Structure 1
C-alpha cells in the first residue's frame, strides 16, 4: 500500500506517506526543461482548487529523461515558484526507473502499467524514439517520460495512471470523482 512508503522532501526531510491517509494523492515526476513543463500550471490550479477538499500533490523532479531537470533541488524549486507560482510540496530529485529508482515508483508501476500515449502533438515523436531504442518499450511498465501522473484514492489504492500526453482535464475528472 502507498502508505508503506516514504519520500524525501526538497528540503531533506523524510515524508511518511501514512500521513496522507484519507487524502487523494496526485504523484507526478516533473522536469523544468521539458515540452511538458507548462503542465505545472494546471497541476497548481488543481492543487489550489481541490487541496481544501483533500487533494495532495507529490511533485518528484526527475532528471532521467533527456536531462531535463538539471540543477539542485533549491534551483528546481525556485524555477517552479518563479515561473508557475507552485505552492504544492516538492520532493527531492529522484529516479523513477532503474536500479536507483524510488521504491514508491516501483510500487506505483506494479499497480498501474503503461497503457499507451494519448493523442497529442508529441505522441509520434515519443513512440518513434522509444521504438528505436527498444522494440518492447510499450509492454514495460516503466515511466516513459516527464509528467507521468498517478492518482491514489483516499484508501491508498492506485486508481489511475496518466501519461504526459493525457489531457489534464481527464486527470481533474478522475481526482474530482474521488473527492
Structure 2
C-alpha cells in the first residue's frame, strides 16, 4: 500500500513538474514573440544581430537547459506512461500534452530555430551578408517561435487537465 502511495505521489509530481515546465517555457517563448524580437528588429541590423548572437550563447545555461530538457524528459516518461495506462481517463490528455511539447516545442526548436541560430552565429554582425540574413531571420525565427510558444502553452493546458482530471470528476 505504501509503495503504491509513493508511486502515485511520484506520478503526481511528474505530471505537476511537466505542466509547470511547459508553462514556464511557454512564457519564455511568449516573451520573445511578443516583445524581445520586436525590440531587436528596431535596432540597426548589426546591433540586432550582435544582441541575438549574445542571447543564443547565454541561453545555453544550466538553469534554462534543465527546465527545457528536463520538461522534455518528463514528457517522454508521461508519453510512455499514457500508452501503458491507456485505460485511465487522463491518458489522452497526458499523451496530447507530451506530444505537443515534444514535437511542437522541442522538435520545432531542433528542426527550425537552432539551424536559424547557427546560420546567424556564422555571420559578422556588421557585414552585408549579416544584414541580408537578418530580416529573413527575424521573420522566420519569430514564426517558428510563435509555434513553440503555442505548443508549450497547449501542452501545459493538456497536462494540467490530466493533473486535475480525477478531482474534476468528483
TM-score past 0.5 threshold: no
Q: TM-score, normalised by structure 2?
A: 0.25
Structure with bigger helix share is: 2
Output the TM-score relative to the length of structure 1.
0.24
Task: Please state which structure has a larger fraction of its residues in strand.
Answer: 1
Higher relative contact order (CA 8 A, sep 6+): 2
